[in-house]
């Protein structure tokens, strides 16, 4: 399928969704943002259900649509590329057309590059830090680095790689379902930072949404963060932690850990001509997710704890 055919199939559908979303709500949200998960572009032939090349056309259509919305930002939940450092340039060229600020986070495939290129990944994505936060319209957003502890995150001779291998060996010893090498964990320093950010959110009475490449729900899932239980326990201490949003599991998913909504967005790379992305409207009492393509619509109410 060429780009013209993809546009003809996808753009009218997206515009139809815009009309439906505008007609169904009479109350303006406090803010709205866009979400894209796992474009996973590579100049390569399809593998199974993953159509790597088609992600460029899907991104072009999605960004043209998102530019019609009044968005505070757009987050990409990791895996902007599938492999090869040269894949970053065409992907980031598409994102350069975004009208809203783009806040990317790191995924495992973003480090499918040579060891000498791994230190250049953040720069290629336009990132100053591997994890960071933003406060917008009374909401706090945490953009996490789920690749913090990964056997492939740093060069092979890096001490952090040896520490990640040791952590994974312990998981394998305990037969943890998420011990797969393509998963990773969040380190102690970042966990302390998350705790501090969520404490500050509570003091300021700011609902908080956390973005990560990896899921944590349901616990002990084969695609989860290595230390999903530790992260979940941390979130349960913070009533203002409203939602955890992630990619990685291309099938998508939704669940709840205590008061925390856990929303796994579907992978854009999946299928030849169907896309997947969303906008999220933040209201006083709920989050409304308007999905496009394969991504469903959801209405998530705040719990009493939030």
Nearest C-alpha neighbor of 262 from the set 275, 244, 248, 247? 244
DSSP 119: G
Give residue 22's pLDDT.
Answer: 37
Give residue 19's pLDDT.
Answer: 30
Contact assessment for residue 7 and residue 73, using Cβ atoms and an 8 Å cutoff: no
Identify the bridge partners of residue 256 per DSSP, sorted by sequence position.
261
Contact assessment for residue 72 and residue 99, using Cβ atoms and an 8 Å cutoff: no
Measured CA to CA, the distance from residue 8 to residue 190 in angstroms comes to: 44
Measured CA to CA, the distance from residue 275 to residue 269 in angstroms comes to: 8
Measured CA to CA, the distance from residue 206 to residue 210 in angstroms comes to: 13
Mean pLDDT of 263-291: 97
Positive or negative, the CA dihedral 47, 42, 100, 241 is positive
> What confidence category does residue 306 fall into, taking pLDDT thresholds of 50, 70 and 90?
low
For the chain, give the mean pLDDT: 92
Model confidence at 23: pLDDT above 90 = no
Neighbours of 212 (CB within 10 A): 26
pLDDT tens figures, 218-240: 999 999 999 999 999 999 999 99
- In degrees rounded to 5, what are phi and psi of residue 101? -60, 145
pLDDT tens figures, 108-149: 999 999 999 999 999 999 999 999 999 999 999 999 999 999
DSSP string, 167-229: HHHHHHHTT-TT--TT--B--HHHHHHHHHHHHHHHHTT--EEEEESS---STT-TTS-TTHH
Model confidence at 74: pLDDT above 60 = yes
Mean pLDDT of 3-13: 47
Longest dimension (CA), the chain: 57
Q: Is 252 left (phi over 0), alpha (psi -120 to 50) or beta?
A: left
First vs last C-alpha separation in the chain: 46
Mean pLDDT of 40-60: 98
Give residue 18's pLDDT.
Answer: 35
Q: What is the pTM of this model?
A: 0.92
DSSP string, 149-160: B-TTTS-TTSHH
> What confidence category does residue 28 fall into, taking pLDDT thresholds of 50, 70 and 90?
very high
Measured CA to CA, the distance from residue 257 to residue 266 in angstroms comes to: 20
Residue given tokens 């100049």 in the structure block: 43
CATH topology of domain 3-301: Purple Acid Phosphatase; chain A, domain 2 (3.60.21)
Model confidence at 25: pLDDT above 90 = no
Measured CA to CA, the distance from residue 241 to residue 302 in angstroms comes to: 10
Give residue 6's pLDDT.
Answer: 53
% residues pLDDT > 90 (the chain)? 90
Model confidence at 290: pLDDT above 70 = yes
Give residue 100's pLDDT.
Answer: 98
Residues 6+ apart with CB under 8 A from 164: 149, 150, 151, 153, 154, 184, 185
């Amino acid at each position: 399928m060429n780009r013209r055919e993809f546009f003809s199939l996808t753009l009218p559908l997206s515009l139809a969704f815009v009309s439906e979303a505008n007609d169904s709500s009479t109350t303006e949200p406090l803010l709205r943002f866009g979400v894209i998960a796992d474009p996973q572009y590579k100049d390569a032939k399809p593998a199974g259900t993953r159509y790597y090349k088609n992600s460029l056309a899907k991104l072009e259509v999605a960004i043209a649509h998102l530019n019609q919305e009044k968005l505070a930002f757009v987050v990409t939940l990791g895996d902007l590329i599938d492999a090869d450092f040269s894949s970053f340039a065409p992907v980031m060229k598409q994102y350069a057309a975004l009208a809203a600020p783009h806040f990317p986070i790191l995924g495992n495939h973003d480090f499918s590059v040579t060891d000498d290129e791994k230190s250049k990944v953040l720069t290629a994505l336009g990132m100053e830090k591997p994890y960071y936060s933003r406060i917008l319209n009374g909401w706090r957003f945490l953009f996490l680095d789920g690749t913090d502890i990964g056997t492939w995150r740093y060069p092979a001779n890096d001490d952090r790689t040896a520490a990640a291998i040791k952590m994974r060996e312990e998981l394998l010893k305990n037969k943890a379902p998420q011990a797969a090498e393509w998963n990773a964990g969040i380190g102690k320093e970042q966990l302390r930072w998350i705790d501090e950010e969520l404490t500050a959110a509570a003091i300021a009475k700011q609902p908080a949404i956390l973005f990560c490449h990896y899921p944590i729900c349901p616990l002990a899932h084969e695609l989860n963060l290595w230390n999903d239980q530790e992260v979940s326990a941390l979130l349960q201490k913070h009533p203002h932690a409203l939602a955890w949003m992630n990619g990685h599991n291309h099938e998508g998913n939704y669940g709840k850990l205590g008061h925390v909504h856990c929303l796994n967005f579907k992978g854009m790379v999946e299928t030849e001509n169907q896309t997947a992305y969303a906008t999220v409207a933040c209201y006083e009492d709920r989050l409304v997710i308007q999905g496009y393509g394969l991504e469903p619509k959801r209405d998530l109410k705040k719990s009493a704890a939030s």
